[in-house]
Amino acid sequence: MANSILETISSEFASAAEKAGGSVVAIHARRWMPTSGIEWKKGVVVTVHHGVQRDEDIKVLLDGGRAVSAKLAGRDPSTDIAVLRIEEGSSGAPPFGDSTSLRLGHLVLALGRTRRGDLVASSGIIGGISGEWRNRRGGKLDQHIRLDLALYPGFSGGPLLNARGEVVGINTRGLGHGRAVTVPVATVNRVVEELLERGHIARPYLGIAMQPVEVPENMRSKLPTQTRVGLLVMHVENGGPAEKAGVLLGDVLFEVGGETVEHVDAIQDSLATSRIGDVLQIRVIRAGEIKPVSITLGERAR
């Protein structure tokens, strides 16, 4: 009975690798080791940003060993995603799955390609999974998916398959301090769409530098209950959204969108859910008085 179950699992994983493997490619865009990637849709290859170290003279090795030229459509370091365009694809889109159905301990399969174009695999389990994750580069992933498997050199950029053989994300060692993590399909789709449209990810910003400070005792009675800390404006960028809105050096920001803030991370969270052109309502302490300020969010110059 046990042998029968193992044989079934083995056969299903082998079929899954064969089915999705036609979309997996090797990408020659750095000096030593090629990077894996996947033809996300016809003529569009998705890989990892850290594996594309040049913008020109990029070669993609397709299933079957055929080499084609690729052009960089855009990259997003914060999610470690890069998008390439190729004129002659191989198989088009692979079967996609829903990463939210993954559970801790689920069996998964990572695929990649070698320098010569051979399809290779590594199996393991989901070692950790949780909700939205903001990584150290500031990118927001829909889920934090950690892998307990050997992500060998060159595997980054390749797909992660669930037990049904569906692609549930792109694997990378470029986001979690060297740990193997997966960028979920929903995040990849969002990033790919914007990179194909703009060539970069447009993110709103304020144009100020801040640090936490204690609010003066004589001001606390004028502020929301329990407010003890605010964010002192240490720098205002010339021509930035904050300067245009009238924010001044020395202002102490204590409220954003009706919510008190004590850490710069809270500002970043507000920006993560905002779009360029949105108006951010803040309140600051200025010369002992409370001032409301409306900041129209702009795009940081590239």
What's the pLDDT tens digit per position in 66-118? 899 999 999 999 899 999 999 876 666 788 999 999 999 999 999 999 988 89
The span from the CA of 33 to the CA of 81, in Å, is 18
CB of 201 closer than 8 Å to CB of 220? no
So what's the architecture of 2-198 in CATH? Beta Barrel (2.40)
Q: What are the structural domain ranges in the chain?
A: 2-198, 204-299
The span from the CA of 217 to the CA of 127, in Å, is 48
Q: In a 10 Å sphere around its CB, with 0-12 CB exposed, 13-18 middle and 19+ buried, how is residue 193 labelled?
A: exposed
The residue with greater pLDDT, 159 or 3, is: 159
The residue with greater pLDDT, 227 or 113, is: 113
How is residue 298 written in tokens?
A: 């702009």
The span from the CA of 218 to the CA of 220, in Å, is 6
Q: Which CATH number applies to 204-299: 3.30.200.20, 3.40.50.720, 3.40.50.880, 2.30.42.10?
A: 2.30.42.10
Cβ atoms within 10 A of the Cβ of 249, count?
12
CB of 191 closer than 8 Å to CB of 49? no
Position 302 confidence tier, pLDDT thresholds 50, 70, 90? low
Entry pTM: 0.76
Beta-carbon contacts of 278 under 8 Å, excluding residues fewer than 6 positions away, are 204, 296, 297
User: Dihedral through CA 250, CA 234, CA 268, CA 83, nearest 10?
Assistant: 140
Checking DSSP bridges between strand 208-214 and strand 204-205, what pairing results, if any? unpaired
CB of 230 closer than 8 Å to CB of 253? yes
Q: Do domains 2-198 and 204-299 have the same CATH topology?
A: no
